[in-house]
Amino acid sequence: MQDGQIRLNKVTREWVIYAPGRRKRPQDFQKKNSQTPQHPVNQEQKCPFCREPMLETILLEIPNKQQTSWQTRVVPNKFPALTPHEHTQRSTEGIYIAMPGYGQHELIVETPEHDKDIATMSPEEVEIVIETYHKRYLDLMVAHENMMAIIFRNHGERAGASLKHPHSQIIVTGVVPQHRRYREEQAQRYFDVWGRCVYCDILEFELQNRRRVVQENDSFLAFVPFSAEVPFETWIMPKNHQADFGSISEQEKSDFALILQSILRNLYDKLNDPDYNYVINTAARYKAEEPQVHWYCQIQPRLTTPAGFELATGISINPSLPEIDADFLNGLSL
């Protein structure tokens, strides 16, 4: 099978993406030797984002504030998980269901500087990153076949980053995964019973209780969730109800950039630049205007490793209480 494919797990009803083209990466399936010395200069020389000729296609480019050079770029992923030349028509193989690997997979290059990161960028630079997220999100969600767009960032090897140069990714899918559907359905059930958005209720309680609040500005609240799955997990949630990241205003883009940069800088300083993932959880297509869905940014540092129990049960074991984590991030404990 050379082309990508998406198969439905008949037991869990979760889709599984098969992307054989990603095997072309030389580091795939190789156990890395932690004793191997690193050579930052060589890494920069080989970096595809630092070498202009290696960027064959630029989908979007935003200049820096001085208009002297580019600040962010969006390029196709050279080893995509999904590709736009496919379609979403399902097929069967005996009792199983599959479809071609339709979608889009793009990389958002956040800065021309190889060793700079969001935690060490200026607020103005992070604003351009958020503007790039927003522009590309709106462009990609125009197509009818695109059911959802996931914007995410992998920082560090334990978070799945294969390139050091600061970048985020956006993947568009032609299906909505069961994982996302389940959350939407639970939010719908809550709304049907109480007539309110469950995320708005969480937000209101955290604003009043303040036990787990980490930072706040006019548009956003950042807090360690009551049931955080990993140590120092942080959610950044808009105070105004919004189902869709695409609905964010100009002021909210600026405020989001400020609080995101501040939270990541805090983790950088207090946890010695930990590996982490963050994802913008936003409404799937056709849910963008519904009252029970609320977008937010979820940051999960990779400080622990899930083991057999987590795999068997789906239950996370967090060795640190959210309230203690919030105190530490606020400088209230050591």
Q: Report pLDDT for 28.
A: 55
Least confident of 20-29, 68-77, 163-172, 194-203: 20-29
250-270 helix and 123-140 helix, angle to the nearest 10 degrees: 120
* Euclidean distance between CA atoms 245 and 253, whole angstroms: 10
Closest CA to 159 of 303, 9, 286, 27: 303
> Residue 302: which residues within 8 A CB-CB, separation 6 or more?
156, 158, 159, 230, 274, 275, 276, 277
Task: Over range 44-51, report the average pLDDT.
Answer: 75
Q: Report pLDDT for 39.
A: 47
Tally Cβ neighbours within 10 Å of residue 19. 18
Q: Report pLDDT for 110.
A: 95
More confident residue, 83 or 1: 83
* Residues assigned a catalytic role: 167
- Fold identical between 5-19+41-178 and 180-305+316-329? yes
Is residue 44 over pLDDT 80?
Answer: no
Task: Over range 37-63, report the average pLDDT.
Answer: 71
- 171 forms beta bridges with 105, 150
The CATH code of the domain at 5-19+41-178 is 3.30.428.10
Q: Report pLDDT for 151.
A: 97
Mean pLDDT of the chain: 89
Task: Over range 24-29, report the average pLDDT.
Answer: 54
pLDDT grade, residue 199 (50/70/90)? Answer: very high
Is residue 3 over pLDDT 80?
Answer: no
Is residue 324 over pLDDT 90?
Answer: yes
Closest CA to 135 of 149, 147, 123: 149
Task: Over range 271-278, report the average pLDDT.
Answer: 96
The helix (H) or strand (E) run that includes residue 99 is: strand 96-100
> Residue 56: which residues within 8 A CB-CB, separation 6 or more?
none
Which segment, 28-42, 156-170, 171-185, 209-223, is predicted with the most confidence on average? 209-223
Least confident of 23-27, 84-88, 114-118, 124-128: 23-27
Is residue 313 over pLDDT 70?
Answer: yes
Where is the binding site for Zn(2+), in residues?
A: 47, 50, 114, 165
Question: For residues 230 and 303, is the Cβ–Cβ distance under 8 A?
Answer: yes
Domain ranges of the chain: 5-19+41-178, 180-305+316-329
What is 180-305+316-329's CATH topology? HIT family, subunit A (3.30.428)
Place of tokens 């197509």: 143
Is residue 325 over pLDDT 60?
Answer: yes
Least confident of 158-162, 209-213, 229-233, 260-264: 158-162
Is residue 84 over pLDDT 80?
Answer: yes
Task: Over range 87-102, report the average pLDDT.
Answer: 90
Q: What percent of the chain has pLDDT over 70?
A: 90
